[in-house]
Structure 1
Amino acid sequence: MKEFDIVNRTRRAVTLIAAATLLAGCDTVNALINGVTNPMTPEQARSQVVDAATDVSHLIAKPVESAYFWHESCSDGDQGPFRGAVRISYQPPADPQAAAAAFDDMTQRLRQGGWAADSDFKSHATTLKKSGVDASLSPGHAGVPVASVMLYGECRDTTTTKATKGDGETLQLPID
């Protein structure tokens, strides 16, 4: 009798799990498979980094050479989950000392604007974090013709795929 009871309970549990999966839908199942417990849409992933880029642009308050957005895979092989990414490029001063001072000024302005140095993002560049977005600033010297701020959103976009990530887009960022 005990064996019959165990088999019955197991069948009931499997049935409940299958029903919950069907009711929850594919997005929830895919999110759990990718280890993402609080997924975001592609639009939310874009908004997260574009809003951060606007904040960075306001805080740095220097002319932007270019700004570009794209969806990026958080793993090798262009597999999910994805995140939003933005690169903002600035023209540094030609003088090495002035370029180093400008880089320090950019970093300081971001810190004063709430970007903290407690990012767990691994990079050789100076990396700051705010509202789930990592900002990687590079380079800190005039040997490279363009200084940039790379913004990486959270790896929570479970809807975007290699086939649907699309092309990137040029952004127009305001400065104050």
Structure 2
Amino acid sequence: MITIATATLLAGCDTLNALANGVLHPMTPQQSRSQVVDAATEVSQLIAKPIESAYFWRGSCSDGDQDPFRGEVRISYRPPADPRAAAAEFEDMTPRLRRGGWAADSDFLSHSTALTKGAVNALLSPPDASVAMASVELLGECRDTTTTKATKGDVEDLRLS
């Protein structure tokens, strides 16, 4: 509380207005949705693979479905049946995304390949013989302080172009 009071005295009311529920510069639900849907559209164009499905949802950034929330998208595609061709196709995804400005210096910890651009993390999951689909998951920033467990809504089917 002392930190907030000190920041307000030093920077004025704008600092306090920019802080909601401990989140500096919160996003609206629409902004958090646009952040990841725009990134997913770009990723789908860069990887240039036929999409089987794409879904958007709001995910909690904490345990218990509490705020803040973030926008999340999963893009699924069917890899080639041949394991070597599937591996080669997957290995080609990272350079394609990097040429599009996605960087490998994400601080997001994952067992998947993680890339970042504009504060969105893209997690690339390689094809696996036990799973029929490979996927790219996009995670937006944890800055949506308006959405709640009751208002987060359902998973939404996306059409990416």
- Please, what TM-score do these two structures have when normalized by structure 2? 0.87
What CA distance in whole angstroms lies between the structure 1 residues aligned with 2:127 and 2:66? 32
- Structure 2 alignment gaps of length 5 or more: none
Contact 1:45 1:84 in 2 (8 A): yes
What CA distance in whole angstroms lies between the structure 2 residues aligned with 1:141 and 1:130? 26
What CA distance in whole angstroms lies between the structure 2 residues aligned with 1:104 and 1:140? 11
State which of 117, 135, 140 in structure 1 corresponds to 2:104: 117
Shift of 1:54: 0.3
Shift of 1:144: 2.6
Contact 1:100 1:141 in 2 (8 A): no
What CA distance in whole angstroms lies between the structure 2 residues aligned with 1:141 and 1:70? 24
**Which position in structure 1 is the counterpart of 2:91?**
104
User: Residue deviations 1:97-154, cap 9 Å, x none?
Assistant: 1011000111111111111001111110001000000000002544531110000000
**Which position in structure 1 is the counterpart of 2:73?**
86
Shift of 1:67: 0.1
- Please, what TM-score do these two structures have when normalized by structure 1? 0.80
- In structure 2, what residue type is equivalent to 1:153? G
- In structure 2, what residue type is equivalent to 1:79? Q
What CA distance in whole angstroms lies between the structure 1 residues aligned with 2:51 and 2:127? 17
Q: Give RMSD over aligned pairs.
A: 2.1
**Which position in structure 1 is the counterpart of 2:138?**
151
* Structure 1 runs (4+) greater than 3 angstroms displaced: 140-143
Contact 2:51 2:75 in 1 (8 A): yes
Contact 2:127 2:133 in 1 (8 A): no
- In structure 2, what residue type is equivalent to 1:80? D
- Structure 1 alignment gaps of length 5 or more: 1-12
Structure 1 or 2, whichever has the larger Rg, is 1
Contact 1:92 1:142 in 2 (8 A): no
